[in-house]
Amino acid sequence: MAKVLYEKFQPLENARLALNYLTSMVDERYDSLPFWLIAAHENPAFARHCRVDDAELVASWYEAIVAVRQMLGGPEGKDVEDAFRRHIMKSWGEHGLRFHEDYPWSKTNHSSFHEMAYILSALNRMIANDPADAEAERRASELVRGMRKLVIERKVRTFWSGDFPESNPIYEFPNDVYLRDRGWDLTCHTGRGEQSIRNGMMLHALVVRYDLTGDETSLDLAKGTANFLIGVSRYFNWKGEFFGHVHSAVWVASGLVRLGRLTKNDGYIRRGKQIYDYVRSMSSSFGWVPEYAQWHPMTEEHCETCCIKDMIECAKELIDAGFEEYWVDLTRFGRNQLVENQVKDGRFVSVDNSIPDTTDTTWRDIDKRIVGGWSGGAEPNSISLKRFRSIAGCCVGTAPQALQIVWDRAVQYRRGRLTVNIPVDKTIPQGQVRMGYPNEGFLSVTPARKCDVAIRVQPWMGRRLEGRCNGRKKAFAREGDLAVFQAVPVGATIELRHPLATKRVAETARGRSFTALYRGPDVVDLLPHGTPLRLYQRVRGRKKVYPRASRRPTAGVGFAAVPTQQKA
């Protein structure tokens, strides 16, 4: 009987697919403006513009395309990247806020503080890639200072027992939107609720800006925002639990951990870790993360891929703060649900290329353009097509950023040591790494210069570890969770091997019982199987099971009203 072989984790292939979506699901008539709304389940399928395309999306898609282009290292997509930057640099207004263009599908023109988190994050990436980028620096500086002037500063706590001055800065915004033509208008709001946490999503971007540039105003705004969120807002309880939007809360947690590390304030780190651990308790071991906490019955929850990105980013921040146990989450989340939530085959999509595009809608080649996108509504074992966000523009902007975090952290060279943190096939100037997972239990490292080689030992490796050098047994030292081979000569191949068998892991996710078949860090199958877009079909060479699109285009139902609901 032939041995079953499984597909490897190949992040560069995921990056190539993402680049397809990012460069094709855009509108050339509007300088490559993205499409957020994708009606993949309609017959025929279509994509439609809405206001958020020129707000959050141009920023998150800018970061996404930069991330995948850095991973791939080629020229493809540079023209679209430049277009996204041009969009970001338009429509700036009062208080340094970015608004949006007056497109036919947009109504009230406003700046959302939730969206300013994405804008500032994109500007941070521009500055990180080019510290001499004066335009990005000016916009970021004006945005931070403008937002600082708009906050309410809580200075005195006046209570029945007296007045008590606040010893730390506490800042909040009066509303979640600022209108371009009339500023604060409390009769207008996003309607999302959770104003404190949605506005607070910018915390991580504020801290990153301070880390990059030393901007003290950014640090001040970050501290005031953090103090409000973990104190006066009462959004989180004493254990870090909350009711509401996971994407916002975990992005805030990432900011708290980084703020605590930079300011040497363990209180911020502790609170960020609590929030992460609470969401982790509702998530699966392989990275399915609910979109909301305590908002719906768990059986009604879906996984917004943005939430996986936040968990990966927060795990990275916790690792940097000294909590190395989160390497397990970073490894499993990245190589399992993150990449499974990506659409890799568009044959389920019904297409009618005879319909001409309109001002805000396109029907052209949706089955091809959708490949590489990410789901905003995944169940653990399938991508659901029941919700209008089955493929979500927001997730396409964040998932590639998470993919880059995993790719960049997998193999690192610092101060004469080549370290493998996550099993992956990767070549860097200092050496080459190869893995056997999920088919064999080994990692091999061939340095391109004489150096120490360190391989992170993770729990699923077990205790029967064997070191080799050029095929012969080789002893290694242990430094915490690292197996260290010292002074490995150029061209020698180090291996760390261990037995590998399929392990059945029973767990509860989305309020249901599942059995994950693990081989090392990889889930190679998930039982029961899901529909309609089944995930974890990882047997190499086996034809994937996907539904086929209808050949008879008909008018769809359920989605047409969504754009109207989304306009604001």
Question: Nearest-CA neighbor of 14 among 371, 293, 317, 281?
Answer: 371
DSSP class of residue 275 equals H
* Separation CA 19–CA 369 (nearest Å): 10
The two tokens of residue 106 are: 């947009």
CA 259 distance to own-chain centroid? 19
Which residues share a beta bridge with 152?
A: 172
What is the amino acid identity at position 114?
Answer: H
Q: Enumerate residues 6+ apart whose C-beta is below 8 A from 56.
A: 114, 115, 118, 394, 397
CA 157 distance to own-chain centroid? 38
The reported pLDDT for the residue numbered 550 is 63
- Helix (H) or strand (E) holding 451, with range, is strand 451-456
Q: What is the dihedral of CA 477, 481, 487, 492, to 10 degrees?
A: 100
The reported pLDDT for the residue numbered 193 is 86
* Separation CA 405–CA 327 (nearest Å): 12
The two tokens of residue 421 are: 């943190």
Please identify which residue in the block is written with the tokens 């490995």: 488
Q: pLDDT under 70 in the chain at which residues?
A: 1-2, 387-388, 550-568
Domains belonging to the chain, first-starting first, are 412-497 (2.60.40)
Q: Enumerate residues 6+ apart whose C-beta is below 8 A from 391.
A: 38, 40, 343, 370, 373, 374, 375, 376
* Separation CA 463–CA 496 (nearest Å): 12
Yes or no: say if 313 and 405 are a contact pair by the CB < 8 Å rule.
Answer: yes
Question: Nearest-CA neighbor of 394 among 327, 262, 305?
Answer: 305
* Separation CA 87–CA 101 (nearest Å): 9
The secondary structure of 197-262 as a DSSP string is HHHHTTHHHHHHHHHHH--HHHHHHHHHHHHIIIIIT--S-TTS--SEEHHHHHHHHHHHHHHHHH
The reported pLDDT for the residue numbered 548 is 79
User: Other CB atoms closer than 10 Å to residue 561's CB: what's the count?
Assistant: 10
Pairing outcome for strands 411-414 and 26-27: unpaired
Query: CA of 299: how far to CAs of 102, 282, 513, in Å?
Result: 40, 12, 11
* Separation CA 434–CA 172 (nearest Å): 49
* Separation CA 84–CA 179 (nearest Å): 23
The reported pLDDT for the residue numbered 176 is 95
CA 33 distance to own-chain centroid? 21
Question: Nearest-CA neighbor of 395 among 405, 403, 407?
Answer: 403
Biggest distance spanned by C-alpha atoms of the chain = 81
* Separation CA 123–CA 472 (nearest Å): 50
